[in-house]
Amino acid sequence: MMEVVFHGQSCVGITLDNGKSLLIDPFLSGNPLAKTSAEEVSADYILLTHAHQDHILDAAAISKRTGAPIVAIPELAAYMSWQGAKTIEMNMGGTVDLGFAKATMIPAFHSSGIVIAEEQRIIYGGMPAGFVIEVEGVKFLHAGDTCLFSDMALIGRRHKLDVAFIPIGDHYTMGPEDALQAAEWYGAGLVVPVHYDTFPPIQQDAGAFVAKLQELGIRGQVVEPGSKVNLSFLER
């Protein structure tokens, strides 16, 4: 069985038995809760949902160290290429075949830009996104940063999702109540809350969220940064 690790904030690593791996939204060096350093992680491909610093901070450095291409929407891919990283650009509704995995880009409702504070300017980062990722017959959803929107139900109908990573932090994304509705619409076999507790405005009780999921008949799991997602339910 593959290994899936939550690294904190929205960073997720998926590693297969043969060593092939994906890394989503690497934000490690700037995350006070991260248990793994940016110098430790490996990746064959890096997927970015959008251009905010808490999702891209370590992407270029990891890409240059490992040789992993960065998969992102064209504007963000261009920015990453300017940092010296290899890139694969794609857009909404498209699917890229990475050999051992396929990634389909889906909508997220959020903002996306790179703030250059010393110059008081913002670089447009393209539309924010999420991904549906199929690896060895298992479908993962990474919702990205988003509010609640009704097409989550369509995404759930179109894709038989096994694991969904859903933000619950509120303030910058949807909060727990909207995330419960999102979980119902996505219909995944397991929901893992992400994008919470890293900073004061997004502190949440993930245990209480998972308890409410269970009341709705939805399997949920709180995964501490650096820990593995329990995929044993897939073997039943």
- Of all residues in the chain, what percent carry a pLDDT higher than 90? 99
Strands 87-89, 3-8: pairing is unpaired
Give the residue-averaged pLDDT of 96-113.
98
Average predicted confidence (pLDDT) for the chain: 97
Query: Using one digit for the tens of pLDDT, what is the confidence trace for 13-47?
Result: 999 999 999 999 999 999 999 999 999 999 999 99
What pLDDT band is residue 235 in, cutting at 50, 70 and 90?
confident
pLDDT value at 106 more than 80: yes
What's the pLDDT score for residue 116? 96
| pLDDT range class, residue 108, cuts 50, 70, 90 | very high
pLDDT score, position 236:
61
pLDDT single digits (tens) 72-104: 999 999 999 999 999 999 999 999 999 999 999
Residue 1 pLDDT: 76
Sheet holding 70-72, edge to edge: 87-89, 70-72, 45-47, 21-24, 11-15, 3-8, 227-228
pLDDT at res. 149:
98
The structural domains of the chain, with segments of one domain joined by +, span 3-224
* pLDDT single digits (tens) 161-218: 999 999 999 999 999 999 999 999 999 999 999 999 999 999 999 999 999 999 999 9
Q: Does this model's pTM top 0.95?
A: yes
Asked if the model's pLDDT at residue 63 lies above 90, the reply is: yes
Assigned CATH topology for domain 3-224: Metallo-beta-lactamase; Chain A (3.60.15)
